[in-house]
Structure 1
Amino acid sequence: MLQSSTILLGSLLSIMAVSTVVRGDEGMWLFNALPLKHLEQNHQFSPTTEWADHLRLSSVRFNSGGSGSFVSSDGLVLTNHHVASDTLHKLSTPERNIIDAGFLAKQPSEELPAPDLELNQLVSIENVTERVNAAVAADLNSDEASKARRAIISTIEKESLDSTGLRSDVVTLYGGAQYHLYRYKKYTDVRLVWAPETKAAFFGGDADNFEYPRYCLDASLMRVYEDGKPAKIDNHLGWSDQPVANGDLVFVSGNPGRTQRIFTTAAFKFLRDERLPYVLDFLRRKEIMLQQYGLEGIEQKRQARDELFGIQNARKAYTGMLAGLQSPQTIQTKQAAEDQLLSAAAKDEGLKPLTSAWQQIADIQIEKAKLLGQSTGFQSRLYDIAETLVLMSAEDQKPNSERLREYGEAGRESLLQDLLSEAPIYPDLERAKLADELARFVEQRGGDDPLVQHVLNGQSPQERASELIAGTKLADVAARQTLVDGDRTHVLASDDALISLALLMEPEYRAHRTRREELEEQERQAYTKVSEVTAAIDGTDTYPDATFTLRLAFGTVKGYQENGQTVQPWTVLNGAFEHAAEHEGQEDFDLPESWLAAKEKIDGHTQLNFICTADIIGGNSGSPVVNREGDLVGLIFDGNIQSLTSDYLYSDEQARAVSVSAAAIREVIRNVYQAPELADSLGK
């Protein structure tokens, strides 16, 4: 329906927030703009404010990437094994490999503190769009506008932190058409309670990753503490042991990472032809490097294991995303919808001037392509620490409103928690990673480049990496603390080899970042126009792209057709043993000894994994799946291979979200891991 172009954008977005014109159950919905009419008309369900608030407050975000939920009144948090793997890796030692062998705290005193984990509970949302826009004058160029926007956002975040004590983040929505202030309660004393073996959590390994049917127990439990005691949680999810049924309506409350559904055809082509191929080349390189390091020995394999898993998982996901974009039908469908939209806009004198945004975005993609491959730093934990210390020392000299955003006062506590983490750092692994990064730097710029020659200092990448790692003390937390406590002069006077390298690279980093933020500002302004045109004409973009902030998705438990066969919507515990037998001799399909020993004790008919049509992407890992009553019935851990285009296109024909059944989690904790008290406490 063609709407009047004189309607203000804020009104348009209000209309979008309550629109019932959606495609199936598509949507990653804001908790302050739920699709109430759609749910009522299509599912005969009307969530109350209390229902939504309880689910929001029962949900948490992991700073390591992923989601989770409170599942007991004494602080138990449920998430995936692969979301917890960062913590499991940091807690592992050569003598006790928790990430592979699993862990169970039989009593609270045995629960293991996570070195640097932060969980965020979304307490409130406030629309601050008018204040942000009022601070950015229309006549500013992109650089000035970016600085003005960054300044007001930093000011809002700092004011909120000072007045509430809560973590405060201003979130950009609808391509820059709205800004919302999210306030979070932070939990930083988080302890590991239970994790199964990798063989159970990642059963099927890379071969079954993003496939279905699945037979994984990708789950773990942590606990949040306050004042040294298990936290008292007012909002936690009840636990359902009932299996889901075909057609059941379920809800997913989590933090999807980033989607690009608002992107134009030109932006899709940039992803297809430039960005995704570049990322895949990078991931393949890192995968080979980490595999080669792991071949040096058992301990080296353990050290590299978590990062290698993340790289392999990302490689497979990006491969699926690129395949979707390389299908001509994807671009043709997007182009046809865009042509129809622009044709309608051209007939409206108020909207017609806004259509220039599409060409602006196309021009920006050309400039973004030029930035690909321009390394301004080196990906290793020790270099990241050095770079952070260098940048922080400079940013601390500026007023809060002028700092790079991550160095503002609002995020200071979280920044320092990561910077001063006690998590182990492995010098040999750091040396291998840095050598590979230096070699890539030479390949990108050429050996005769003056900066390359300055960085290498007359040595090969391998020799230089060895010298740099030998010449740094940043693996020692006390050495980092000394530089944090000092000021810019202390950093400039440091003789630490990696600090010196980061100082050398700092001008390059800042120049690249300034250019990138200029392009982001130009793109933000253009997409604001795209949002206005789209909302005025058809009102179908009823939810903003994902931003790794809390969203509500929903769908039904439903199978699908593949290769002429019906894929059933769930698997059972017995199926895991059958799947293992069918793949005998393949290491990734070996169940752990604990499962084999307990086979006769467990109810093999218990639902293990199930699928639904809920709209999810990366970042939703660990999200609770709840029923109409708000009780937990499952735990998101994956999507099938057909869902990998969901970053930019939703479809419920074959794409499915994959969950671990709540019933299986309790059954296995009780009868495989022999922890009946822990099993009984779930949902209590």
Structure 2
Amino acid sequence: MKKLVLTLLSAVLLTPFSLKADEGMWFLMFIERLNHRDMQKMGLQLTSEEIYSINNHSLKDAIVQFNGGCTAEVISKDGLVLTNHHCGYDAIAELSSAEKNYLKDGYWAANKKGELKPSSLFVRFFVRMDDCTKRILGVVNDKMTEAEREKAINAEIAKIEKENNEGGKYVVSVRSFFQGNEFYYFVYQDYKDVRLVGTPPESLGKFGGDTDNWEWPRHTADFSMFRIYGDANGNPAEYSEKNVPLKPKHYLPVNLGGVKENDFAMILGYPGRTNRWMPAGGIEQNVKFAYPAWVEGAKTGMDNMKKYMDQNAALNLIYASKYASTANYWKNRQGMIDALTKFETAKTKAAQEAKFNKWANKAENKAKYGTVVETINKYYALTNEKSRHDNYLQQLLRTSGMGTISRSLGRQLENYAKADAAKRSQMLPMLTEMAEEMYKEMHIPAERDILAAQLALYATKAVGYPMAPMVKKIGEANNNNFTSYVNAAFDMSIFGSLDRVKAFLQFPSEGQLTNDPLYVLSADLITHFNSKSDEIAKAQNDFGAAFRLLVEGLRESKIATIKYPDANSTLRLTYGKVRSLPADKRNDATINNYTTLAGQVKKYKKGDAEFDLPARVLEMNANKEFGRYADKDGSLHVNFLTDNDITGGNSGSPVLNGKGELIGLAFDGNIEAMAGDVIFDKKLQRTINVDIRYVLWVIENFAGAKHIVDEMTLVK
């Protein structure tokens, strides 16, 4: 499972409001002014300076963005990093082989020499942030088109990034908030030498599979461990045997006391994206057009991967990561459809917009805001069918390795064919390596089936918007059965095998490449996906300006109750409490805010891909071998619930008690509140976390890797 998960800013800093403590993803720099008193009432014992400080070490120094899409935390003085199993999945899969299958069997480095370096993995430390709203908005005006506005903003952003990167030492990112009404810049430092320390076997790390994904009760050891390395001075460095473990500015102590109902819990992490300012028309478009196409396209890709993955371990490894990512969003989008429909979220938003529209058309507001809602609704009406079309095509491009070949390896081969002999000689090793890596992640018979099935789905379902010309032509000639065409294309194509690509590298021909059937098809699909009519281009321009005005007006009028901008992969803090859901007969726990190892064993199905368990776990449960990690009730707690406000990107985030001690690891949300990216449900929304005691039990008691636990600072 990947999951693949804010702030009150300057305009409202002095505005009093009633705060729901469990809602909101907040900027750390505003904690003292906005949240600290409320957090103290709930159980926080830290000062705001201990959470976020520029001059002294603080909690923020122990939190890293993991490989650009997840969160992780430093938990030892030697740079040990903890994140989710599904966040480390790609790296673990890359390091695995049929003979040494770390995904299936797990891995625990006996010492630092045994730690494994994947080819590409990095962590990002947050250094500081600051407001640059006045500067950015000072270079734009209301007469600009959206394209002109974007160009002016990007030019100013480039200056800000250059001014703050200290000659390349830091990565600087300027991000917009409140739909382009405010801007902040963030300074980061990246470390690229990150090595695998340990991972539980997949039967624990991914226990429950797709069936339990987004569900409660859960019983999953969703964690993996890595270590950050730097040079002798602690600076970022490319991989080298001479590098040493990083001595972090701050690392998290680990609390073994467990949790109970209403305990304070805060989470720091990098939530990816929420859409809580999304207009009603956008929600309606997603529910009726975009998400159903996404779900069907994802399922088509998954089904055609799975029939090969089930054949043997080697094929399973090839597609394990792509399948897991596709499956995660497949279930997520279906859950979004169900939740948004059930709670009539679009209707709620429409009522808010009607209220806004009435305010907007008052004499004093009409010139600025009067046509905002009309413009937004016109845009969605125009693009509904395009959104359905684009999601079918997008899933084709995401699940088929050949769908994007023209802009990946194909583009490089075209440059190679155009180059002179000297340049080709220089490019050859890189292209050979690139091709070998790409074909490691493809099984050609599977790629044939995936592409043919996705083309057929696209051709028959994306019919309300003009189709890619080649697909239309091929479909009409073959009654939308693409199997024969795809098989013939693979048979003739340069890209039909690694050997043919290598042969092309020896005897390159630009004409052969530009007439290659898979290259031409891919180019046609991508060109069509990126194209838009003048009418849609104008509607997008008008929509961009109108959406920005909608958010500005909702805040100005105080019609909106949200006091924070959407998540956008910047560091945020969310706080709440340990909080149960109504009693559930599927959970053996005495209160429905945690699960136990006994409950996990009850789900056990021998030989089942999702619910098998190691024999050692069954024995240890029967003998109650829980050691120092047993709860006061005598059981071993596995997962627990809090009401924190998180989303994708928060995967791997630390769950902390009031003292800033690690009590758990966030990894999922519950499907009942799947609308949470659009609207927060204070009654139903929960974060599902791995109990840190279960993590340590797996490492020390199950795996026998006590030396890893010994690195940590444990608090009883």
- Measured against the shorter chain, the TM-score band is 0.7 to 0.9
Cα deviation for residue 215 of structure 1 reads 1.6
Cα deviation for residue 635 of structure 1 reads 0.1
**Corresponding residue number in structure 2 for 1:168:** 172
Inter-partner Cα distance in structure 2 for 1:217 and 1:523: 44
SS of 2:666's equivalent?
Answer: strand
* 1:258-657 alignment runs, 5 A limit: 258-327=273-342, 329-347=344-362, 349-350=364-365, 353-372=368-387, 373-374=389-390, 375=393, 378-379=397-398, 380-381=400-401, 384=404, 386-388=406-408, 424-428=440-444, 429-440=446-457, 442-443=459-460, 450-452=469-471, 460-468=485-493, 470=495, 497=516, 507-508=527-528, 510-512=530-532, 522-538=542-558, 540-561=561-582, 568-580=592-604, 588-599=610-621, 600=623, 601-603=625-627, 604=630, 605-657=635-687
Inter-partner Cα distance in structure 1 for 2:16 and 2:219: 38
SS of 1:258's equivalent?
Answer: coil
Inter-partner Cα distance in structure 1 for 2:434 and 2:570: 23
Deviates more, 1:420-429 or 1:126-135: 420-429
Q: TM-score, normalised by structure 1?
A: 0.83
Q: Note the alpha carbon deviations across 1:377-425, whole angstroms, 9 max, x for none.
A: 8334565464147779999xxxxxxxxxxxxxxxxxxxx9x98995842
**Corresponding residue number in structure 2 for 1:405:** none
* 1:100-139 alignment runs, 5 A limit: 100-139=104-143
Cα deviation for residue 205 of structure 1 reads 2.6
**Corresponding residue number in structure 2 for 1:679:** 709
| Uncovered stretches (5+) of structure 1, i.e. residues with no partner | 1-9, 396-415, 483-488
Say if 2:212 is the partner of 1:208. yes
Say if 2:63 is the partner of 1:55. no
Is the Cα contact below 8 Å between 1:85 and 1:306 reproduced in 2? yes
Is the Cα contact below 8 Å between 1:30 and 1:543 reproduced in 2? no
* 1:176-255 alignment runs, 5 A limit: 176-227=180-231, 228-255=243-270
Q: Note the alpha carbon deviations across 1:574-612, whole angstroms, 9 max, x for none.
A: 4333443xx678553322134235444324523321101
* Aligned CA distance change for structure 1 residues 329 and 110 (closer, same or farther; 3 Å): same
* Aligned CA distance change for structure 1 residues 474 and 176 (closer, same or farther; 3 Å): farther
Inter-partner Cα distance in structure 1 for 2:366 and 2:260: 47
Residue-pair matches, total = 645
What letter corresponds to residue 442 of structure 2 in structure 1?
Y
Q: Note the alpha carbon deviations across 1:419-444, whole angstroms, 9 max, x for none.
A: 89958423424444444444455546
Inter-partner Cα distance in structure 2 for 1:74 and 1:479: 48
Inter-partner Cα distance in structure 2 for 1:340 and 1:181: 34
Is the Cα contact below 8 Å between 2:606 and 2:613 reproduced in 1? no
Inter-partner Cα distance in structure 2 for 1:159 and 1:393: 37
Cα deviation for residue 162 of structure 1 reads 6.2
Select the residue among 649, 664, 680 that pairs with 2:694: 664
Cα deviation for residue 163 of structure 1 reads 3.5
**Corresponding residue number in structure 1 for 2:421:** none
Cα deviation for residue 72 of structure 1 reads 1.4
Inter-partner Cα distance in structure 2 for 1:643 and 1:540: 19
Is the Cα contact below 8 Å between 2:297 and 2:454 reproduced in 1? no
* Aligned CA distance change for structure 1 residues 598 and 536 (closer, same or farther; 3 Å): same
Cα deviation for residue 132 of structure 1 reads 2.8
Cα deviation for residue 510 of structure 1 reads 4.9
Percent identical residues: 26
What letter corresponds to residue 259 of structure 2 in structure 1?
V
Q: TM-score, normalised by structure 2?
A: 0.80
Is the Cα contact below 8 Å between 1:472 and 1:496 reproduced in 2? no
Cα deviation for residue 28 of structure 1 reads 1.2
Is the Cα contact below 8 Å between 2:172 and 2:188 reproduced in 1? yes
Cα deviation for residue 65 of structure 1 reads 2.3
Inter-partner Cα distance in structure 2 for 1:19 and 1:462: 65
Is the Cα contact below 8 Å between 1:24 and 1:652 reproduced in 2? no
* Aligned CA distance change for structure 1 residues 467 and 560 (closer, same or farther; 3 Å): same
* Aligned CA distance change for structure 1 residues 670 and 334 (closer, same or farther; 3 Å): same
Cα deviation for residue 463 of structure 1 reads 2.6
* 1:65-80 alignment runs, 5 A limit: 65-80=69-84
Cα deviation for residue 106 of structure 1 reads 0.8
> What is the RMSD of the two structures over their aligned residues, measured on CA atoms?
3.9
Is the Cα contact below 8 Å between 2:584 and 2:592 reproduced in 1? no
What letter corresponds to residue 30 of structure 1 in structure 2?
F
* Aligned CA distance change for structure 1 residues 97 and 584 (closer, same or farther; 3 Å): closer
Q: Note the alpha carbon deviations across 1:158-209, whole angstroms, 9 max, x for none.
A: 5544645322222221111112222221121111111001111222233322
Inter-partner Cα distance in structure 2 for 1:520 and 1:355: 18
| Uncovered stretches (5+) of structure 2, i.e. residues with no partner | 1-6, 232-242, 416-430, 479-483
Cα deviation for residue 61 of structure 1 reads 1.4
Is the Cα contact below 8 Å between 2:353 and 2:373 reproduced in 1? no
Inter-partner Cα distance in structure 2 for 1:319 and 1:667: 35
SS of 1:658's equivalent?
Answer: strand
What letter corresponds to residue 618 of structure 1 in structure 2?
G
**Corresponding residue number in structure 2 for 1:401:** none
Q: Note the alpha carbon deviations across 1:23-59, whole angstroms, 9 max, x for none.
A: 4521011223337444414652474123234222211
Cα deviation for residue 15 of structure 1 reads 1.1
Cα deviation for residue 496 of structure 1 reads 9.9
Deviates more, 1:506-515 or 1:28-37: 506-515
Inter-partner Cα distance in structure 1 for 2:503 and 2:156: 35
Inter-partner Cα distance in structure 2 for 1:677 and 1:172: 44
